[in-house]
Amino acid sequence: GTLLVTLIDVKTNRAVWNGYASGVTVPEGPMGEIVLRRSVRSILDRYRVFTEEFANGTLPQSSGADR
């Protein structure tokens, strides 16, 4: 089947990103959970996370501890 992940903006309650994996077959039992976790991980690996500051072109200054 197809596994769909939709991320919702809590401020607007609107979908901001959709990702999917097709051809997912989930077996019964503990192996099914492993397959689902790996499938969701592969979907989320394609999602780029940006902050509002990044989207607005104003990046916060990093401290020396970040380096």
CA distance 40 to 34: 10
Instruction: Return all residues near 9 (Cβ < 8 A) that are at least 6 apart.
Output: 15, 16
The residue with greater pLDDT, 49 or 54, is: 49
Q: What is the pTM of this model?
A: 0.60
- Note the pLDDT tens digit of each residue in 4-50: 999 899 999 999 889 999 999 999 999 999 999 999 999 888 877 66
